[in-house]
Amino acid sequence: MSTEHVTVLDIKPPSGPHSTYLETNLSDHAAVDAAIAAIEGPVHALFNNAGVADTSPPKTVISVNYLALRSLSEGLLDRIPDGGAIVNTASTAGGQWPQRLEMINEVLDLGGDWDETLDWLDSHEIGAPYYFFSKELVQVYTMRSSRPTMAKGVRTNSVCPSPIDTPLLKDFRETMTDKLIDWNIEQAIGRPVSPREVGLVLAFLGSDAAAYVNGVNLLVDAGFSAAMTTGQVDFAAIS
C-alpha cells in the first residue's frame, strides 16, 4: 500500500507516513460521522487500530474501542471495493467472550447505536473491566460482521495481540498491575510484542495474501493463549 494514499483518523497528528490526516475524536459520535463523510474513497483497506485503556472513563473506552470501530466499518463499507478488507485491532484481553456471549450479543443487537449502547452500560453490570469487554465486543463483532461484509466482497478479520511495547502499556500497567502484565509477558516469550510485529500481521490481513481469510480473530501472542488452553501456563507467579 502506497503511503501517498494513507488517511489517518486520530485525536492527535500521526508520526508515521500518511497522506491525509483528519483530526477526529473517536469517542465522539458526531466527530466520527463527520470523518466518515469526509472520506471519499475508494478505501481498499480499513484498519481500525485506535484504542484506549481503562485509565479512560468507561463510556470513552466503549466508544473508542467498539462504537467508533463499528461506525467506521459500516459507514465506509460502500466505499470499500470488491476484494477489500476491514481489519480490527482486538486483544487477547477479549478472549473470554464465550463467558459473556449472551450479554455481548445483546449489545451487538443494538446495531451500533451510540446512545442506546451507552445507556445499556449504565444499567448493566458486565462483570469484567470495560477494556476487556470492549475487546470481547470487537472479537464477536468481527465474526458476526464477516459474513455480511463478505457478501459485498469485503473480508473482515481482527488481530488479537498480547501486551504491545507502546506508550499505552503504561496505562495497562496502571489498571492491570505490573505483576499481571509482567507475568503475561514472561509466560509468552519474555518480551512484549513490538508494534512492527503486529503491523506486519495487520498488513497481511489487509492484503491479497489473505484473500480467503475471513471472520478470524488472529492471535499475535507468541503462543500464550495456546499455552493457556493446553494447561502449560505457570500461574504460581501470580497466585
Separation between Cα atoms, residue 138 and residue 230, nearest integer Å: 25
Are residues 29 and 17 in contact, defined by beta-carbon separation less than 8 angstroms? Answer: no
Separation between Cα atoms, residue 235 and residue 14, nearest integer Å: 39
Separation between Cα atoms, residue 30 and residue 228, nearest integer Å: 41
Q: pLDDT value at position 4?
A: 63
Q: How do the pLDDT tens digits run along the chain, 239 residues long?
A: 455 689 999 999 988 889 999 999 999 999 999 999 999 989 999 999 999 999 999 999 999 999 999 999 999 999 999 999 999 999 999 999 999 999 999 999 999 999 999 999 999 999 999 999 999 999 999 999 999 999 999 999 999 999 999 999 999 999 999 999 999 999 999 999 999 999 999 999 999 999 999 999 999 999 999 999 999 999 988 87
Q: pLDDT value at position 3?
A: 53
Separation between Cα atoms, residue 14 and residue 16, nearest integer Å: 6
Q: pLDDT value at position 221?
A: 97
Are residues 11 and 26 in contact, defined by beta-carbon separation less than 8 angstroms? Answer: yes
Each residue's pLDDT tens digit, 138-168: 999 999 999 999 999 999 999 999 999 999 9
What does the block give as the cell for 196?
512492527
Question: Which 8-state DSSP code applies to residue 159?
Answer: E
Which of 87, 91, 88 lies closest to 176 in space, CA to CA? 91
Any alpha helices (H) in 76-129, and if so which ranges?
101-108, 114-122
Q: pLDDT value at position 219?
A: 98
Each residue's pLDDT tens digit, 179-198: 999 999 999 999 999 999 99
Separation between Cα atoms, residue 107 and residue 85, nearest integer Å: 24
Q: pLDDT value at position 139?
A: 98
pTM recorded for the entire structure: 0.95
